[in-house]
Structure 1
């Protein structure tokens, strides 16, 4: 219901964005916040049995 800003992203797109975050060596503050949201959403989906990012 209230999953946060990344909750509506399809699994494939979320996986791509999450993986991209793993490769950024010096992210901007905005990118850090976005990556934290992607990671949080990946973890939420994982708890629900959806291993889209893992």
Structure 2
């Protein structure tokens, strides 16, 4: 990853901040579990390995 990518990921306060640019309107394999991921993010779990 580039420094810019790492900084963008580290600086994001909400998951929505990461949904920008060319991928914004595309469907994702995560679409079905986004509400669950949002809940986990709100609980402070920002490490995907702890899902």
TM-score (norm 1): 0.29
Instruction: Compare relative contact order (CA 8 Å, sep 6+) and give the higher one, 1 or 2.
Output: 1
Structure whose alpha-carbon radius of gyration is higher: 2
